[in-house]
Structure formats: C-alpha cells, structure tokens
Amino acid sequence: MRLKKVLYILLALLLIPLSLGIYSYSLPKTFFIPVQDADEKDWNAKSFWYYPWGNSVTHKGVDIFAKKGKPVLAATSGMVIKKGEGGNGGKFVVVLGPNMVLHYYAHLDSYTVSSGDRVKAGEQIGTVGNTGNAQGKAPHLHYSMVDILPRFSRADTAIQGKRKMWYRNPIPYLKYEKSF
C-alpha cells in the first residue's frame, strides 16, 4: 500500500512539470502546409478561436480553402491513429506527430491512408472536401493541432478559454512551412 502511494506521488511529480509546459514545444523538424500548393491567401489568419462558430462555439483550428479533390498532406511525420467519418468533421484523419501532438484533418472528400499507417511529412493522406458540417459550403480542410498533455498557460478567459490548454494555434506553424 505504501509503495502504491509513493508511485502515485512520483507520477504526480512527473506530470506537474509536464502539464505546466516544461516539455518540448519546439517545431517539428519538417512541417508542411497540409493542402498541396496552399499559401496564406487560402486561410484567414484570425480564424483560430474565432467566436461564434456554429455548433462548436469557437473555431479550434484553421480552415484552408482549396478545390475539391486537392491533395491533403501530412503536416508532419507520424502515425495515423484514427480514420473515420461522422459528426461535424465528416471524413477525418488523426495523426500522432512529434512532441505528442495530434494533427486533425477534417471535411475530407477521400482518404489515402488507414489507421496504423506511418506517414512522412508531405505525404498525401486524403483529399479536400466538404463533408460533415461543411456540406453546402466551399470545400476546405479543417486542420487542428491538439496536445495530449495540456499546457495550462494557454487557458484564458475567452469563450471556452479553458479548452485552449489543449489546442495549439496552427497558423504560426503554417507560416514556417518546410524544413528547419
């Protein structure tokens, strides 16, 4: 019983610094804009955490507009941990990338990967579409970056501001595309 208590304390001591952001928040070595040939004119730089944003209340990512069928690329190397369809995102892919960051690609028209696949940065994972709550709207990729471990310093008093500890603003990453 005493050993179990000590292990819980050690685990807590390990998780506290991690949750405070004292772990790597560096950029991945390679980062791609996740829509082939897209640039800053294809997204709104002020759309992250924009309010109001329909059923999701705030916009927890960035929408990159492109023609339907345009290749969607893995922003970083990683492993496809989920491919599916349903809800607001329609057809989606989730990739676990460097620094324990989940990369969420939604509103896809089609997939080119399966759960469990390893992908390299810049590799095609699907195509741009307008599935889910994007039906009837211009085709686009909704792209989000979600931390597995929260960074409490990002939480604020904005609408749904406590949820910000889990989400990275992807827009600064899009500005530093390619290799570092």
Strands, E assignment, 1-157: 30-31, 62-65, 71-73, 78-85, 91-97, 101-111, 118-119, 124-128, 140-147
| Dist CA 128 CA 131 (whole Å) | 9
Taking only the tens place, the pLDDT of each residue in 63-93 is 999 999 999 999 999 999 999 999 899 999 9
Mean pLDDT rounded to a whole number for the chain: 85
Q: Where are the domains of the chain?
A: 24-179
More confident residue, 121 or 162: 121
Q: If DSSP codes are grouped into helix, strand and coil, which group holds residue 108?
A: strand
Q: Cα angle at 130 between 174 and 145, to 5 degrees? A: 30
What is the fold of 24-179? Glucose Permease (Domain IIA) (2.70.70)
Q: What is the pTM of this model?
A: 0.81
Q: Is the pLDDT of residue 123 over 70?
A: yes
Q: Is the pLDDT of residue 53 over 60?
A: no
Residue for token pair 């699907």: 126
Taking only the tens place, the pLDDT of each residue in 134-179 is 999 999 999 999 999 998 998 888 888 888 899 999 999 887 765 4
Q: Is the pLDDT of residue 25 over 50?
A: no
67 within 8 A of 140, measured Cβ to Cβ: no
